[in-house]
């Protein structure tokens, strides 16, 4: 049912993509399926960017389309992912690493963590290692989440983990990484504690680390 949405996003058909997302919601499609379709489309767009078929304007347009769709979908998700809590389960710092401007996956994870009771600080996209370090010092999170869609981001993840270690903060935080192409092998390369395959996995991981399963 979501194939046409993926196609519209990959082909940069903004009006069609937004209309299809609204239609899917009105037809009762699971909001998570819509977001998964967005992630699938962004993975394809990312590959086109890496091979030189697409350029920065296409990357940015795809991201904007998915941002609008995620805002459309969020209200429909609140009943599914849990009710908000007044007491925080812990603090999570989130950012997309340097060299990558994708934010749909990060934004979904931030939303899911917040709804499930975590205090989240999102420091944005294309975040250099030093900014992660400074944010950890300021925010004092229990966990740090790093996102990337492009394979170019793997080195940035590794450099960021090393910067956190060099700053003497590595023992203070758990580090999770995520993105469509992130795997256990990438986790080992980067030196993170775990990787999450999707937003649900990220929430489960965060709860496990905080003893709230």
Greater pLDDT, 103 or 83: 103
Greater pLDDT, 136 or 75: 136
Q: Answer yes or no: is 169 within a domain.
A: yes
97 and 68 belong to one structural domain? no
103 and 73 belong to one structural domain? no
Greater pLDDT, 144 or 201: 144
Structural domain including 99 reads 91-209
10 and 72 belong to one structural domain? yes
Q: State the total domains in the chain.
A: 2
Greater pLDDT, 120 or 74: 120
pLDDT at 213: 66
Helix or strand (DSSP H, E) at 33: helix 31-50
CATH number at residue 187: 3.40.50.280
Q: Which residue has the tokens 């710092």?
A: 93
pLDDT at 82: 47
110 and 159 belong to one structural domain? yes
Is the pTM here over 0.85, yes or no?
A: no
- For residue 95, which of 84, 105, 87 has the smallest C-alpha distance? 105
Tell which of 77, 112, 143 closes a domain. Answer: 77
Tell which of 77, 110, 135 closes a domain. Answer: 77
114 and 71 belong to one structural domain? no
What's the chain's average pLDDT? 89
């Amino acid at each position: 049912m979501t194939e046409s949405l993926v196609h519209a996003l990959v082909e940069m058909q903004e009006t069609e993509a937004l209309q299809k997302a609204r239609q899917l919601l009105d037809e009762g499609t699971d909001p998570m399926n819509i977001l998964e379709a967005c992630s699938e489309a962004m993975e394809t767009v990312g590959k086109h960017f890496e091979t030189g078929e697409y350029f920065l304007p296409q990357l940015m347009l795809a991201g904007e389309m998915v941002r609008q769709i995620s805002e459309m979908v969020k209200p429909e998700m609140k009943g599914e992912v849990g009710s908000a809590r007044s007491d925080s389960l812990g603090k999570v710092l989130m950012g997309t690493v340097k060299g990558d401007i994708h934010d749909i996956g990060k934004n979904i994870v931030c939303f899911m963590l917040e709804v499930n009771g975590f205090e989240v600080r999102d420091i944005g996209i294309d975040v250099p290692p030093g900014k992660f370090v400074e944010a950890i010092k300021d925010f004092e999170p229990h966990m740090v989440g790093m996102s990337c869609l492009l394979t170019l981001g793997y080195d940035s993840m590794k450099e960021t983990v090393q910067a956190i270690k060099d700053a003497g903060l590595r023992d203070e935080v758990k580090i999770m990484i995520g993105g469509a192409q992130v795997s256990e092998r990438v986790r080992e390369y980067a030196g993170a504690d775990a990787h999450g395959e999707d937003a649900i996995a990220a929430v489960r991981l965060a709860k496990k680390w905080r003893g709230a399963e």
